[in-house]
Structure 1
Amino acid sequence: MTPHSEYRDSMTMQLIVTHPGGAHKDDFLACCLLAHLHGIPIQRREPTDDDLADRSICVVDVGGVHDPEHNNFDHHQFARDAPPLCALSLVLQSIGLYEDALSFCAWLRPAEWLDTLGPNETANLMGIPRTALSELNSPLDTTLLNRFAKHTELRPDNPVYQVMCMVGEDIVTYLRSLRERLNYLKEHAQYWTIETDDAPIQALYLEKSDVISDDPSFGIYAFIESEGKEDEIQALVYPDRRGDGFGLTRYNDSQRLDFSQIESHDEVRFAHKRGFVAKVDTTDPAQLKKLLENAIVKAVR
């Protein structure tokens, strides 16, 4: 798989070295990122001093050194009370994606905790029983980690390596495209206030644009969270990817709206019987606001 040239160092990267034996999510995912970015072989062995000194060799989750200038990404030498950074965290930092990953990849913090603090403390921090951690594992986790662990070397023609590149590509692409979308939403999203007999309804509206036509709703939830408006917004109004109209959706399943109440309206193409979403033909903001108003659940007095 061809690596992205924007991530290449001034020198050509030659090799990824990570520890032998059992594989864990943090070293696996860190190697996925580096395999995607550089397209170089992975060797599972103990590193030498020459490996650590060679900037063309990425040493991951082993070696006792964190030195991104030399592409060394180990965390095991950190103090007991250090922030819970794992090898994956260090690689994400080195490519400038860590803060966004921490904000928008809900799986990252538990992965850090599990690798640095162990299962008991991780379960406590997540507020779940210790047994839930193993119950949440899937055959995908087990198979990929086991297949990775069985190899002493993986090259780009290996099927496991190719899957790793796909994983790394999806993480990088998601975070880069999400950052672009958040910047776009910052400039173009509008906040609507729909007055009611009780507290007003707040809606986020996004107008049609060729820039977002492939996936209009992408990033909206992350944007609202990044703006700190999770407790203010009740509805989303955004272009319908499947038609010329708009989608109306409850944000965080707000019970103040029931779109089944508008299913008989001429402009409504579809309204879910459970009331959480509707697809409408109109593109007129005034009409969209009126439909939102008609979908508001009247308070029982």
Structure 2
Amino acid sequence: MLTSILTHPGGAHKDDLLACCVLLADNPVRIERRDPKPEDLNSEEIAVIDIGHQHDPAKSNFDHHQFPREAPPSCALSLVLQDLGLYDDAKRFCDWLETSEWLDCRGPVNTADWLGAGRDILAKLNSPIDVTLLRRFAGQEVHQPGEPVWEIMRMIGQDLIAYISGLRERMAYIAEHAEIWELDGFSVLYLPRTEPLPGEPSAGLGRYIEELEVKTEVLATVYPDRRGEGYGMRRYNDDPRLDFTRIEQESDVHFAHKQGFIAKTSAVDPDRLKNLVQATFAQN
């Protein structure tokens, strides 16, 4: 159990802020923003984040600045997630993580090139949420439990860990229950109704599809409607070959979005569901 978290003074960045957030989830301790002393680096009860030129998880030291220039992009958050055994799933489920590693290690110009985008695109993705949190975090030498910034940071850490761990559990649930329907020209991922019904039945389906190996391309998901006894139908990756407005006049279809990407039906019979989804398909 940690007694405190220490990170560098001056400007704050996403990697040191998020690394502190993740540690706060299970260690509700004070955060100090100052240079570390030798005794800090030698104490396993004081987490030293993004400073100190040491990566030694046994002593709770998580700095990457001493890594060779040619090392794969990494950051303080990466090191903390590795120590918690969450890194592989975070890299798999959090699309923003690798970009954050690149930004911290390679800077905005190289990151923009790696993304195949102009540097101005990165600036257009900035949010006032990011700016305010980083500025407020950098603006105090000590952050204590009960203070607004500290409490928000702990919420971020708790939610991030819950998302990563929960999605792993969700993927296992989908793998146990889901079926692949091979229709005429495309495939559908079908998740039958189970009891108890998950709070958000469609959650994780897209991630699961990314790892599938099927004969034909998956273009749609069919999943229990959490608001009724029927099913929701959604096109995967917003593929325009499926347009659910083509079935909006069917008697058992009670909603079809005018943009064609989703519909709701009272039908529960798998054969009927297959027919409905097939009717939305038009080959380009």
Is the CA contact 2:225–2:232 (under 8 Å) kept in the aligned structure 1?
Answer: yes
Change (3 A) 1:163 1:241: same
Match status 1:165 vs 2:154: yes
Bigger mean CA offset, 285-294 vs 105-114: 285-294
- Compute the TM-score of the two structures, normalised by the length of structure 2: 0.96
Is the CA contact 2:187–2:216 (under 8 Å) kept in the aligned structure 1?
Answer: no
Shift of 1:230: 11
Equivalent residue letter for 2:55: H
Distance in structure 1 (CA, Å) of the matches to 2:216 and 2:49? 41
Match status 1:217 vs 2:202: yes
Shift of 1:228: 5.3
Shift of 1:255: 2.3
Within the candidate set 99, 122, 125, 2:88 is matched to 99
| SS of residue in 2 equivalent to 1:204 | strand
Q: In the TM superposition, what whole-angstrom CA distance separates every residue of 1:182-216 from its partner, at most 9, and x where no partner exists?
A: 11111211000112xxxx22000000123543100
Match status 1:83 vs 2:68: no
Q: Which residue of 2 aligns with 1:193?
A: 182
Match status 1:39 vs 2:28: yes
Within the candidate set 46, 57, 63, 2:52 is matched to 63
Change (3 A) 1:230 1:137: farther
| SS of residue in 2 equivalent to 1:118 | helix
Q: Which residue of 1 aligns with 2:168?
A: 179
Distance in structure 1 (CA, Å) of the matches to 2:73 and 2:215? 27
Long gaps (5+) in structure 2 = none
Change (3 A) 1:278 1:230: farther
Equivalent residue letter for 2:193: K
Q: In the TM superposition, what whole-angstrom CA distance separates every residue of 1:208-232 from its partner, at most 9, and x where no partner exists?
A: 1235431001111111113356972
Q: In the TM superposition, what whole-angstrom CA distance separates every residue of 1:151-181 from its partner, at most 9, and x where no partner exists?
A: 1111111110000011111110100000001
Q: Which residue of 1 aligns with 2:15?
A: 26
1:147-158 equivalences under 5 Å are 147-158=136-147
Shift of 1:273: 2.1
Distance in structure 1 (CA, Å) of the matches to 2:116 and 2:229? 44
Change (3 A) 1:272 1:212: same
Is the CA contact 1:16–1:42 (under 8 Å) kept in the aligned structure 2?
Answer: yes
Q: Which residue of 2 aligns with 1:133?
A: 122
Shift of 1:102: 0.8
| SS of residue in 2 equivalent to 1:247 | strand
Q: Which residue of 2 aligns with 1:124?
A: 113
Match status 1:111 vs 2:100: yes
Within the candidate set 239, 244, 260, 2:245 is matched to 260
Change (3 A) 1:170 1:250: same
Within the candidate set 277, 289, 292, 2:262 is matched to 277
RMSD: 1.5
Match status 1:226 vs 2:226: no
Change (3 A) 1:142 1:225: same
Shift of 1:274: 2.4
Distance in structure 1 (CA, Å) of the matches to 2:186 and 2:108? 42
Q: In the TM superposition, what whole-angstrom CA distance separates every residue of 1:226-284 from its partner, at most 9, and x where no partner exists?
A: 33569720111001112111011111122222211111111111112222111000111
Shift of 1:96: 0.9
Equivalent residue letter for 1:201: F
Distance in structure 2 (CA, Å) of the matches to 1:219 and 1:50? 44
Q: In the TM superposition, what whole-angstrom CA distance separates every residue of 1:55-96 from its partner, at most 9, and x where no partner exists?
A: 111010000100111111000000010111100000011111
Equivalent residue letter for 1:78: F
Distance in structure 1 (CA, Å) of the matches to 2:196 and 2:141? 44
Equivalent residue letter for 2:228: G
Is the CA contact 1:282–1:288 (under 8 Å) kept in the aligned structure 2?
Answer: yes
Is the CA contact 1:224–1:230 (under 8 Å) kept in the aligned structure 2?
Answer: no
Is the CA contact 2:182–2:216 (under 8 Å) kept in the aligned structure 1?
Answer: no
